[in-house]
Chain A
Amino acid sequence: MNRNWPLWEVFVRAKNGLSHRHVGSVHAADARMAIEAARDVYTRRMEGVSLWVVPSNAITASDPKEHADLFEPAEDKVYRHPTFYAIPDNVKNI
């Protein structure tokens, strides 16, 4: 083969009401073929009711080197979680 088929990322919705979830990738010449390959590779056991395929090169990912800048600020903001606040046991429904 002269050139590689593009890579597609595959997302499966397990059932209506749930969001599509990334399950893996396939190579395919075009989007239709990617759907068909994804169906064969990722839904042989009733894993889903809907498929998305997205060209891998259309995805912009965060860089692991930016991990501290992006994600560490959240670490000292525990007051965003409900368990940060102590409420007496006799106070209900809160």
Chain B
Amino acid sequence: MYTTELKERNQAVQGLSLEREDPERLAAFEARVAADDFIEPKDWMPEAYRKTLIRQISQHAHSESVGMLPEGNWITRAPNLRRKAILLAKVQDEGGHGLYLYAAAETLGITREEMIEALHSGRAKYSTIFNYPTLTWADIGAIGWLVDGAAIMNQVPLQRTSYGPYARAMVRICKEESFHQRQGYEIMMTLANGTDAQKRMAQDALDRWWWPSLMMFGPPDENSPNTAQSVRWRIKRETNDELRQKFVDVTVPQADALGLVVPDPKLKWNEERGHYDFGDIDWDEFYAVVRGEGPVAKERMTARVKAWEDGKWVRDAAAAHAEKRGMRIAAE
């Protein structure tokens, strides 16, 4: 799964002036990044670089973690044991991806608890895609195919992002992500080749997930003020619009192969550009979901907070056990 870099309240990254940085160290840092060297946790880095990374990596981690919810919703209702085992494994992977990313963010000086608190209090953002409901089993297919497909498109270039721990987390994640997309596509193939009702279910899922998937790449480049700096620092390697176009170009033939119709009347191959032209994205919907007005945004956060609070006694018991054992070992 993936999140784009979203602006958050109380986050004055753009306000962090580079002018306050030591020009010599800044120049040395920028030269290293420009030469595709990796920055490691103990290296000097501009404060704005650190803040941007904390925001992007923690949003990414939150997205992985919240991303378990829409799919977890279907584990008990998977149509057979094979699908159930696969879905369990996928959801467990998403939890793992969240952990790799939280650990990478922690190397920048933020604690796990601070990040979780920011998520639960609504200050931190996560990918808008997870605030849409999973209504039918076909949605699990569409999520794997489209949402994980968009994630892969975003995450492959991030394997070469300039911050070492983030890049290494992305390498692991990308290795695991391909299974997610293929299992989703397989679900779609099965439904698309099934009964009329199953085919309608597959088409309905594509209809509902197509546009939110395109929104996953974030606002258009002209409205993405942080992109230029992030590309310069090699935090991002490609812009939102470039990645979105790539996704459309590879996904449309996959929909054709399923015999399903992409819900965009303006979608058309443009021979001259060598790309598909596609219709306008409803950015009002995107910003509404970013603001927390997504169809199931409240439900998602309620589920996260409940899981955290219900698990408190386990965390407390583990801590008490470790303390007691530590005292016993000390006494021996």
From residue 289 to 326 of chain B, which have CB atoms closer than 8 A to chain A?
Answer: 312, 315-316, 318-319, 321-322, 325-326
> Besides A29-B322, A64-B44, 11 other CB < 8 A contacts?
A3-B319, A5-B318, A24-B168, A29-B318, A29-B319, A29-B321, A33-B318, A40-B92, A44-B89, A64-B42, A64-B43
**CA A28 – CA B112 in complex, angstroms?**
12
Q: Is B318 a contact of A30 with CB atoms below 8 Å? A: yes
Pairs across A and B, CB under 8 Å, 24 listed: A1-B113, A1-B319, A4-B111, A4-B112, A5-B315, A5-B318, A7-B106, A24-B100, A24-B103, A24-B169, A24-B172, A25-B103, A25-B106, A28-B318, A29-B322, A30-B318, A30-B326, A33-B318, A33-B322, A40-B92, A40-B96, A44-B92, A44-B93, A45-B176
Q: From the candidates A24, A27, A30, name the one contacting B325 in the complex (CB within 8 A).
A: A30
**CA A61 – CA B40 in complex, angstroms?**
12
B277 to chain A, nearest CB (A): 40
Interface flags for A28-64 (1: CB within 8 Å of B; 0: not) read 1110010000001100110000000000000001011
**CA A44 – CA B42 in complex, angstroms?**
30
Interface size range on A against B: 20 to 34
Q: Is A1 a contact of B322 with CB atoms below 8 Å? A: no
Contact A5/B103 with A63-B42, A64-B40, A64-B44 known, Cβ cut-off 8 Å: no
Q: Is A61 a contact of B42 with CB atoms below 8 Å? A: yes
B118 to chain A, nearest CB (A): 15
B25 to chain A, nearest CB (A): 11
Q: Is A5 a contact of B44 with CB atoms below 8 Å? A: no
From residue 220 to 271 of chain B, which have CB atoms closer than 8 A to chain A?
Answer: none
B262 to chain A, nearest CB (A): 33
Closest to A22 in B: B168
Q: Is B99 an interface residue (CB 8 A)?
A: yes
Q: From the candidates B42, B315, B321, name the one contacting A30 in the complex (CB within 8 A).
A: B321
**Contact partners of A61 in chain B: CB under 8 A:** 42
Closest to B169 in A: A24
**Contact partners of B176 in chain A: CB under 8 A:** 44-45
Contact A27/B112 with A7-B106, A40-B96 known, Cβ cut-off 8 Å: yes
Closest to B112 in A: A27
Task: Select the residue from A1, A4, A28, A40 with max chain B CB neighbours within 10 A.
Answer: A1
B94 to chain A, nearest CB (A): 12
B182 to chain A, nearest CB (A): 15
B166 to chain A, nearest CB (A): 12
Q: Is B319 a contact of A5 with CB atoms below 8 Å? A: yes
**CA A19 – CA B321 in complex, angstroms?**
32
Contact A4/B42 with A30-B322, A30-B325 known, Cβ cut-off 8 Å: no
Closest to B320 in A: A29
**Contact partners of B319 in chain A: CB under 8 A:** 1, 3, 5, 29
Closest to B100 in A: A24
B75 to chain A, nearest CB (A): 17
**Contact partners of A40 in chain B: CB under 8 A:** 92, 96
Closest to B176 in A: A45
A84 to chain B, nearest CB (A): 26
**CA A5 – CA B317 in complex, angstroms?**
12
Task: Select the residue from A1, A29, A61, A64 with max chain B CB neighbours within 10 A.
Answer: A29
**CA A40 – CA B92 in complex, angstroms?**
9
**Contact partners of A26 in chain B: CB under 8 A:** 99, 103
